[in-house]
Amino acid sequence: MRKMERLLQEKETPVSSSASESPKSASKFPALQVSAAAGAGAAGIAFALLLFFFIRRACLRRKKACKIDDAEWPATTELRRYKLEEVEKATKSFSQERLIGSGAFGNVYRGVIHGDRRTLAIKRAHSDSYETVEEFRNEVELLSRIKHKNLVSLVGYCAEAGQRVLLYEYVSNGSLADYITPGKTPLTWQQRLNIAVGSAKGIAHLHGDVNKPGIIHRDIKPSNIMLDHGFEAKISDFGLVRMGPTGDESHVSTQVKGTPGYMDPAYCSTLHLSTSADVYSFGVILLQLVTASAAVDHSRDRTKSHISDWARASIESGRVEEIVDPGLEFEARGMKTMLRMAQLGIRCTAWNPKERPTMAEAAKELEEEGRRAARSARRSSGDFPLESISIDGVGLQRFSVGSCGDMSSIKSASLRCLEVNGSNGGGDGNNLTAVSEDMNMRGG
């Protein structure tokens, strides 16, 4: 037993001795400990200074971006630069009372600049809408070159004290979104066609009627189609515009931006942006003009939640009355026009971008539909325009035939040579009728 105890004591002795020796060995290197602590502290201070330097640099860069010097703006810009004091006075310091719209990139206010004598739509950008001054300047320069009656005109800008403000012409009748939602006074079919034509022309102009390379809007939707006092459409809100492809390129690669329901599925899946993305959005607009339905309605079956999927079967079978806006009172020619608009909308929303028409082609097709509808209206009202006829050497141009009873009802003295009686003229005078409209006489 004692032998066992000695063995255990001998076994424990090295452990206790090593434990007792460790503080002695550690105390042999005090300078090394201090150096390590000092090094860690210095590294922490250096990291903190470096972090402070980068944060300060970013703040200075952002502060510099907020200060836009007049010299940085090219002299070629014909737009007026407004003072912040003028803008604040016109909007009552951007009060809720003057607020008329709000979006992802800023709020829009209505105001009258002192001395301007016209009401303007004043868009104040959110603080994070532009990362650099160059972005804001580029947008101003781009919009200053866009001139078309179906595009809202940029009147001027304000860049002062960190504020970035764009001033547009004010469009009095609100946006299309105000007229194609339940509970609103419905538009007539003629107004819907006219809005479609104007919108198509405006977008086609952006895509390259004049501008080369073309400009892609990226956010065509009802709230961005403004209506003036005559219900003429004007495309607005150019916060997402992007220059289109140049040369032989078919697209530009960019991150997806836009409004769900109006974004091109091909663009969303490939990140390849082209003018066909706007064509898709316009197709959705056409379907909404016909049906007054939402672009996406989750109350419908999941496979038909999007308006193009929901309406396609009725349109392709020619049964537009199944989906047409119930607020419309149709004549036959109105129904035909709505069907043709809907058919164009389905082609514009084709899944394959190559199967869609261009905006110029869509505008041309809608204009032709407008002329066809006008001819139909004249025919149904008894107005038959003739190119020209000649009777006994008397040349006549453009007169209409209606029911007037007898020849005494003809107002124009020039037509007295056409008076006929039953005894000598080879016809019954009571049956000869005419209405003078826009007539030019050529003597023979």
Sequence-separated (6 or more) residues with CB below 8 Å from residue 98: 91, 92, 109, 110, 111
**Hey, what long-range contacts does 249-257 have (CB within 8 A, 24 or more apart)?**
250/274, 257/218, 257/219
Q: Distance (Å, rounded) from C-alpha 195 to C-alpha 177?
A: 12
89 is in an annotated binding site: no
| Tokens of residue 375, six digits | 């001819």
Identify which of 302, 261, 318, 305 has the alpha carbon closest to the alpha carbon of residue 284. Answer: 261
Sequence-separated (6 or more) residues with CB below 8 Å from residue 23: none
Active centre residues (catalytic): 219
Residues in the chain: 444
Q: Which string of b and e fits 103-114 if b means at least 16 CB within 10 Å?
A: bebbbbbbbebe
**Distances 147 to 161, 176, 211 between C-alpha atoms, Å:** 29, 21, 10
Determine which helix (DSSP H) or strand (DSSP E) holds 155, and give its type and residue range: strand 154-160
**Distances 64 to 58, 166, 307 between C-alpha atoms, Å:** 10, 20, 46
Give Dmax over CA atoms of the chain in angstroms.
Answer: 164
Query: What is the four-CA torsion angle of 306, 310, 313, 319, rounded to 10 degrees?
Result: -130
Q: Which string of b and e fits 17-36 if b means at least 16 CB within 10 Å?
A: eeeeeeeeeeeeeeeeeeee
Do 258 and 175 meet the contact criterion of CB atoms below 8 Å apart?
no
- Calculate the CA 318 to chain-centre distance: 29
Helices (H) and strands (E) in the chain, counts: 10, 15
Do 273 and 219 meet the contact criterion of CB atoms below 8 Å apart?
no
Residue numbers in the known binding site for ATP are 123
Residue numbers in the known binding site are 123
